[in-house]
Structure 1
Amino acid sequence: MIRFEHGRARGRADACLAHRPASCQTEHTGNTIRRAGMSITGQCHCGAIRYTAEGADEHHALCHCADCRRWSGAPMVGWIAFREEQVTITGTATVYSSSEHGRRAFCRDCGTGLFYRNAVVLPGIVDIQSGTLDSPQDRAPAAQIMCREKLPWLAEVETLPAFDTYPGVD
């Protein structure tokens, strides 16, 4: 269980797991991380792999672990988790064994990272990289995890100059 105290998550952070079991919930507002009655859709960059997930998610979190950073090439990765039976995938993803039990799936055509599974730690769960959602703006994460591995400069990211487009491009 993850508990929130003054905006900071407290709880187990077992390995690189933006991946929490179904018992994961936030008590900051008294709401569970799960969202009932919604479905999501998404795809890889080239569209060769599409997915749909129906019903309530198990959680949606930003993971700061080094393993997820290295896999994605990004300073953190958003993961939204569903029970395996809730997810329908079209297209064939390539699977990479990233650890003894961890399996990461990506599009072999465009390289987009899409799914994470770990049958030992997260039986029956498929984590979906939330940046691949068709409408990621509609599903805000409810937690940050593995913050002990968070890049220290992320604390200052809001102080950086911000541009609506690439500088010099209209």
Structure 2
Amino acid sequence: MKDRPHQAKCLCESVTLSIAESISELHVCHCSMCRQWGGGPMIVASCGTDVTFEGKQNIERYHSSEWAERGFCKRCGTHLFYHYLESGNYFVPAGLMKLPESVHMASQIFIDEKPHYYEFSNATTNMTGAEVMAKYSDS
């Protein structure tokens, strides 16, 4: 696992995710489900399908929709990933990793569900929920 460019760990370090894909962009989801799950917008890196896990016995998976599941540590509750079932892509919260200065926020999705009480100043690609569903349901 040492040859992988990124590792993510839960708060209690019972689970480690090793990510093969290089990360240069972050994405923000404002959907009501992500905000309910984490108490705010979910800021993630798209990590592809080649993600390996140490401490699998400490991972709980919750099927939050027909197309995705969310993973969290059974011991400390850390949110570990959003996993898109059809493609197998993992989206890992940015706060679980040490990322280089070159990483930037590239997009915001479900922008139409973003509440009024926060605003990011970054210039990003913004997509409504309908636009996201149309784009990814065709894939």
TM exceeds 0.5? Answer: yes
Select the residue among 93, 96, 103 that pairs with 1:129.
93
CA contact (8 A) 1:58 1:82 kept: no
Give the match's secondary structure for 1:68. Answer: helix
Letter in 2 for 1:45: L
Q: Is there any run of 5+ residues in structure 1 with no aligned partner, and where?
A: 1-37, 158-170
47 and 102 in structure 1: CA distance in 2 versus 1, 3 angstrom threshold: same
Is the aligned partner of 1:39 residue 2:5?
Answer: yes
Q: 1:154: which partner in 2?
A: 118
Distance 1:141 1:52 in 2: 21
Distance 2:82 2:91 in 1: 5
Matches within 5 A, 1:10-159: 39-57=5-23, 60-73=26-39, 75-85=40-50, 87-92=51-56, 93-120=59-86, 123-133=87-97, 135-136=98-99, 138=101, 139-155=103-119
148 and 137 in structure 1: CA distance in 2 versus 1, 3 angstrom threshold: farther
Distance 1:156 1:62 in 2: 10
84 and 58 in structure 1: CA distance in 2 versus 1, 3 angstrom threshold: farther
Give the match's secondary structure for 2:117. Answer: helix
CA contact (8 A) 1:58 1:81 kept: no
62 and 156 in structure 1: CA distance in 2 versus 1, 3 angstrom threshold: closer
CA contact (8 A) 1:51 1:88 kept: yes
Distance 2:35 2:75 in 1: 21
Distance 2:24 2:61 in 1: 22
40 and 147 in structure 1: CA distance in 2 versus 1, 3 angstrom threshold: same
Cα RMSD over matched residues? 2.3
> 1:55 Cα shift?
3.0
Q: Is there any run of 5+ residues in structure 2 with no aligned partner, and where?
A: 122-139
Distance 1:114 1:83 in 2: 14
Letter in 1 for 2:6: I
Distance 1:71 1:119 in 2: 18
Letter in 2 for 1:68: C
Q: Percent identity?
A: 28
Letter in 1 for 2:90: V
